[in-house]
Amino acid sequence: MSEGPPGQTLKKDNGPDFVKTDGSRRVSTWMNETESGLRASSIFEKGYEKDGEWQRTNRMSLADLLPTARLLEQTYDEARAYQRDYNRSQTDAAQSKDRKKPRDRSAR
């Protein structure tokens, strides 16, 4: 597993890496390792009850927009923290690997 923010790791299962909620509103985010770095993918949705069953939708009413925007801002901040820590761990790993390489002493 890759390192996320302090005390967290990126999961390899299909569930989101982190979720932000406000009432019935939810933003779920997956952090994906790609060739060009760590990328975030998010979905936002809200729950509601219909005929005694809980449903989910990504349609938001006017009353949902500001709370959802705040959740998205929190999501952005956390995803950026994951990316910073991931980039730092990749840099540290590369530097550590370079330190372990034997020096070429033939080029004196």
User: Is 35 domain-assigned?
Assistant: yes
Q: How far is CA 108 from CA 29, 100, 102, 103, 105, in A?
A: 52, 20, 15, 11, 6
Boundaries of domain holding 12? 1-80
Whole-number pLDDT of residue 59: 95
Domains in the chain, number: 1
CA distance 74 to 71: 5
Q: Are 2 and 9 in contact (CB under 8 A)?
A: yes
Per-residue pLDDT reduced to its tens digit, 28-86: 999 999 888 899 999 999 999 999 999 999 999 999 999 999 999 999 999 999 999 99
pTM higher than 0.75: no
Kindly state whether residue 47 falls inside one of the protein's structural domains.
yes
Distance (Å) of CA 65 to CA 13, 26, 29, 42: 30, 12, 18, 16
Residue 92's pLDDT band, with cuts at 50, 70 and 90, is confident
Kindly state whether residue 59 falls inside one of the protein's structural domains: yes
Indicate whether 91 belongs to any domain: no
